[in-house]
Every structure is written in C-alpha cells, then in structure tokens.
Amino acid sequence: MNLSFFTDNKSGSGKIRGNQIADYIGAKLNPTEGYENDICIYVKNQPPENFPKASYLDIVDGGEHIKWLRNHPEIGVISMTKPSMVYLSNKLNRDDIHIIPQHHCNFERKQREPREVKVVGYIGGKRQFQYNYKHLKVDLEKVGLDFKCKTKFRDRSEVINFLNSVDINIAYRHRKRGQWLRDSLKLANAGSFGIPSVAYPEIGYESEFKGCYIKAETEEDLVSGCKLLAENEDIYNKIAKDALEKSESYHIDNITPLYQTLKEL
C-alpha cells in the first residue's frame, strides 16, 4: 500500500512529520490526484470532508482537532507518545490510537566535538520558552556561561548548525495546558548530538526521557542545572551519554518503519 502525506506547509511539525518523512521514504506529498487508494496521512491538518477511506489524522500537538475527530470516528488517529495516546483515547472514547514518535533532526548522527562547556542554547518558538531571555542571559553570565537562542529557522540544517554550536540545551515551558499532546523532540534533537538538556519536566519529557536530562522546576533550577553540567565533567558526560543512547530510538531510520504498520481501515 502506498502512502500519501498532506500538510499545510506552515507548521514546523507539518514539515517534520510530513515533508521530511515523505521525502525520506519516497512517499507522495500533497498529491492532487492518484491518492484515493493510498493510506493518506493528514499531518496536523484537517482532512477534507470527502477524505479517502484509508485515512489518518496525525494530530501532533493540535488539540484544536479533537472536536473534529469526535465527529469523524471513521478516520484513524496517530499520536506521538503514550501519554498523548491515553489522553486521546479518553477524549475520543477510542482504543485504536496509533503511536508514531517524532524523529529527531540528526539523520547523519553527527556528534558534538569535545570542548569546554561554555554555551547554553535554546531553539524553538518564543512563546514556548517562559523565562525572560535578557534575564536568563544575565543569570547565566553570573555563573560563567554564555547564552544564545534561535527562535526562527527555515529547515533541518539550521537546527543542526545551531545545536552544533552549543554545549547545553535548555527548555522551560511550565504551563500545563496542552502538555498531554507534547513530545520530547527538543530533548531528542539535542541528545542525538550528545548534548545534555536542562528542562522543565513536561509530561512528554518525563514519559520519554526520564533520567536522561536534568529537571528544572523553577528558573533558579534552570540556571543551577546548567552550572552543574558546566562544572562537573562526570555528570555532564553521563547525562550526555544517556541522552545520546535514548535519542537513537528517535532516529528517522527507526521511526519510518512504523508508518508501514498502518493498515486500511
């Protein structure tokens, strides 16, 4: 059975789970004809009312699609994590949710070069980080660390180049709303390079990366966690090693076979 992916080409997750997967496995991307008998995957993108019979909505973190799914129980549903699968099962009263994790960016399995631990980095949307950037920069400078961030990026290569330039990855988003549908991509991306993370313990992080990153419940924890990694080589190397090993399961080579398990509905 052939696969066809449909995205709106606007969201980052659409490009990752639509464009990148389709390109990697040679599937169709946004076809306008000849897909009616394919397994069709709509990535964070509401299907048309006349969607083909063998169709799935890959909801990603798009909670706004839950209402639509309640009214279309005939379509398949794909989630990214076990917590999101359980959450959707309860919301939709279904026991047939498929789990396909999100692959990380490091297809080439590049590794961080040995160097002094000096640079703390954040990559992601501005609204996904809840610590004032200017304040954080000052707080990190007080413990001898530099801070850089990237909130706009066009493609996978820009993410790779940024992560290659940092020594510690951070993520700090403590709002509870929407957490059930989020995954651990930020930690997997950094971990795939052997870069440890300090992050707020979101549901997805704890489900998928527990013990493979340093938890930061508060802003003070975030800074002290970075300081700990910078000053203790043994702890840095252990977290980096654990994150690297955990991230391998999110390599695209280990994710794409899961799409081949999707069947006609």
CA distances from 30 to 18, 22, 35, 60, 173 (A): 9, 10, 9, 18, 33
Query: pLDDT: is 127 or 199 the higher one?
Result: 199
Give the CATH fold of the 119-250 domain: Rossmann fold (3.40.50)
User: Tens of pLDDT along 61-119?
Assistant: 999 999 999 999 999 999 999 999 999 999 999 999 999 999 999 999 999 999 999 99
pTM for the model = 0.95
First to last CA, the chain: 12
The residue assigned the tokens 């910078």 is 230
pLDDT of residue 212: 98
- 156: Cβ–Cβ under 8 A, 6 or more apart, which residues? 20, 105, 107
d(CA 181, CA 124): 17
The closest of 136, 132, 162 to 222, measured between CA atoms, is 136
Model confidence pLDDT, tens digit, residues 133-156: 889 999 999 999 999 999 888 899
